Amino acid sequence: MRTTAYLLGIALVLGMSACNDGSVWTAQERATLQSLNLATLPAAHDPSNRFADNPQAAALGKQLFFDPRLSRNGQVACATCHRPEHAFSDGKPVAEALAKGTRNTPSLLGVAHNDWFFWDGRKDSLWSQALAPLENPAEHGFTRVEIVRLLLEDTAYASQYHALLTDLPTPETVATLPTSASPSGTLEQLQAWKSMPPAAREQVDQVFAATGKFIAAYVSSLALAPNRLDTAINNSSALTPSEIAGARLFMGKAQCILCHSGAMLTNQTFQNIGTGMLGKDSGRATVLDSVRNDRFNCQGKYSDAAPETCTELQFLTRNRHSVAGAFKVPSLRNVAQTAPYFHDGRMATLDAVIDYYVQAAQQANKDHDLPRIELSDAEKRDLIAFLKVL
Amino acid sequence: MLTKWLTFSTLSLLLAGCSGNAATTWQQHQVSSSGLYQATLTCATAPTVAIFQECALQLSSEQALPPDLSLTVDGGMPAHGHGLPTAPQAVPTGKVGEYRIDGLKYSMVGEWVLGFWLHSAAGQDKIVFRFTF
């Protein structure tokens, strides 16, 4: 009798455990996994771009994104580095367009959910970010005046711009614009820009900003697909034992989740992991003034947002020392498809990334924010197996 | 803006004890380094990561508060060696000793310190809250 009761008791306990939806996760693990679930991600919203959810603008933005004519040599489009087959990254250590850049090309999937753009966060909106490569000598190498001329003199583009915008420069005004001019170009391009009447410069900037907003409308439509982690909460058989062990390391001993939290697997901040280069590339610290003074930022005249709603910019830290050597915490979604890693693509593989974190965290007199991490070789393998789930 | 105002109004009501939802708020009490000031930090929710917190600080003292008293906010994670991810501000609400804390965010779970420097012609003081979430 006592044996039967004992067995019944064991069966009851085991049954209750199994009733835990058949999951291998503890309640705490389930809560944490739920916080990473894509389904919890709110819809992206950018009040600084009135075209962000406009299908017509997104269709135009897609044409602009893939158009290599928007470049100095007619061969560089946004899609040159943001390649759809690489989750809209390029698989190279650093971007290569008109010249070799200094930063790794990030994936664009889900990027509309970001607070800051570029590895150092020097732009505070997707549309403002889209403008910078167009005039970067190492990327498209164009000027805003050349872009406006091309777009408004091209019949197909012009009709779409007229359908979406008012107060566009007349063809006569466009004909009077310099061939090449920009406030951020070469000395000659700057002189040409300054030779333009203020009203003409204003009109060019309006069209230029709108071009960024159209491109952003398209890029905003590049949504993330659910991954196996998103289904693993209610279906633990979706993961292998190694992946489950890796998930536990991610949430616990390896401390990845401290920064790679939330449904985007990033806390949207800038952290010093010891990859900055003193005097050469201090990351976030070097852009605190430029983002605040950017004429295309959230509080600028080309933004569609009320300035007081630009809270990220309003409460931007002014303490350079606190963010010296810090770079943006990237999303880990699709991380297996977006090698190489880190802001300058210095790590070719996930194995190298994990080795770096473990080794860097052991350093005495460390000059970074990393916590101490110790992982065995088997644990590293499990963690990498889990990262490939993402 | 309206949302922020409504949220803060709700928080003010909670501070005044006019609501039955006090269980959802999060409070910390602390005394300043000099012992002159008592402070209560009240937030609409317990600390969370990566979103702006809705908080207010209430100062009181056995003596009248200095009329030129102003506050600056600082903080960080001692174990990680980094500060707050944003630059929050303490904004006087117009009520004696009450400050709305705007722009406060936390970047990760763990042990945090949140400090308030008190500036006035009478001297400086500080209030430091320590908490883990």
Question: Mean pLDDT over residues A189-203, rounded?
Answer: 96
**Percent of residues, chain B, with pLDDT higher than 90:** 77
User: Which CATH superfamily, name and number, covers B2-15+25-132?
Assistant: Macroglobulin (MG2) domain (2.60.40.1930)
Question: Domain map of chain B by residue range?
Answer: 2-15+25-132
Q: Name the average pLDDT for chain A.
A: 92
Q: In sequence order, what are the beta bridge partners of B101?
A: B55, B90
Chain A's closest residue to B79, CA to CA, is: A371
What's residue A22's pLDDT? 59
Provide mean pLDDT across the span A234-247.
89
Q: Which of A127, A104, A105 is nearest to A114 (CA)?
A: A127
* Cβ-proximal residues to A378 (8 Å cutoff; 6+ apart), any chain: none
Q: Which stretch of DSSP H or E encloses residue A9?
A: helix A2-19
Orientation angle between helical segments A144-153 and A198-220, nearest 10 degrees: 80
Q: Percentage of chain B surpassing pLDDT 70?
A: 83
Backbone angles phi, psi at A364, to 5 degrees: -80, 155
Burial class (CB in 10 A: 0-12, 13-18, 19+), B106: buried
Report all structural domains of chain A as residue ranges with CATH numbers, in order of start.
Answer: 23-41+226-283+324-387 (1.10.760.10), 55-220 (1.10.760.10)
Contacting A residues, span 307-366, partner chain B, CB-CB under 8 Å: 308-309, 311-312, 314-319, 322
pLDDT single digits (tens) A2-43: 444 444 444 444 434 434 455 788 999 999 999 999 999 999
Report pLDDT digits (tens) over B4-35. Answer: 444 444 444 444 433 334 568 999 999 999 99
Q: What angle do CA A19, A23, A24 make, to 5 degrees?
A: 125
Specify the pLDDT at position A236.
73
| Chain A residues whose beta carbon lies within 8 Å of the beta carbon of residue B82 | 271-272, 322, 369
pLDDT at A364: 65
ipTM for this model: 0.83
Tens of pLDDT, residue by residue over A318-340, are: 989 889 999 999 999 999 999 99
Phi, then psi, of A248 in degrees rounded to 5: -65, -40
pLDDT tens digits for range A60-114: 999 999 999 999 999 999 999 999 999 999 999 999 999 999 999 999 999 999 9
Q: Which amino acid is at A110?
A: G
Q: DSSP for A281-308, please give it.
A: B-BGGGTHHHHHH-TTSTTSTT--S-GG
Least Cα separation, residue A226 to chain B (angstroms): 22
Q: Give the residue among A210, A204, A206, A207 at the shortest CA–CA distance from A177.
A: A204
The answer on pLDDT for A230 being more than 60 is yes
Query: Which tokens in the block code for residue A354?
Result: 């994990």
pLDDT score at A365: 63
Task: Determine the longest span between alpha carbons in chain A, in angstroms.
Answer: 101
> What is the DSSP-derived secondary structure letter of residue A97?
S
pLDDT at A149 over 80: yes
CA distances from A143 to A102, A183, A381, B31 (A): 21, 9, 48, 58
Task: State whether residue B49 sits within 8 Å of chain A by CB.
Answer: yes
Residue pair B104/B87 in contact (Cβ under 8 Å)? The answer is no
In this complex, the residue of B79, B87, B108 whose CB is nearest that of residue A316 is B87
CA A39: distance to chain centroid? 19
Write down the pLDDT at residue A19.
41
Cβ contacts of B80 on chain A, cutoff 8 Å: 369, 371
Q: Do A267 and B49 touch (CB under 8 A)?
A: yes
Rounded-to-integer distance, Cα A289 and Cα A299, Å: 14
Could you tell me the pLDDT band of residue A370, with boundaries at 50, 70 and 90?
A: confident
> Are A330 and A271 in contact, with CB atoms under 8 Å apart?
no
State whether residue A94 is helix, strand or coil: coil
The side-by-side arrangement of strands in the sheet containing B89-92 is B26-31, B37-43, B55-61, B98-102, B89-92
- Asked if residues A8 and A15 have their Cβ atoms less than 8 Å apart, the reply is no
A220 has a pLDDT exceeding 60: yes
Q: What is the DSSP letter of A121?
A: -
- Spell out the residues 6+ positions from residue A130 whose beta carbon is closer than 8 angstroms to its own: A78, A211, A212, A215, A216, A219
Could you give the angle at the alpha carbon of B113 between the alpha carbons of B108 and B115, nearest 5°?
130
Burial label, A113 (beta-carbon count in 10 A; 0-12, 13-18, 19+): buried
pLDDT of residue A15: 38
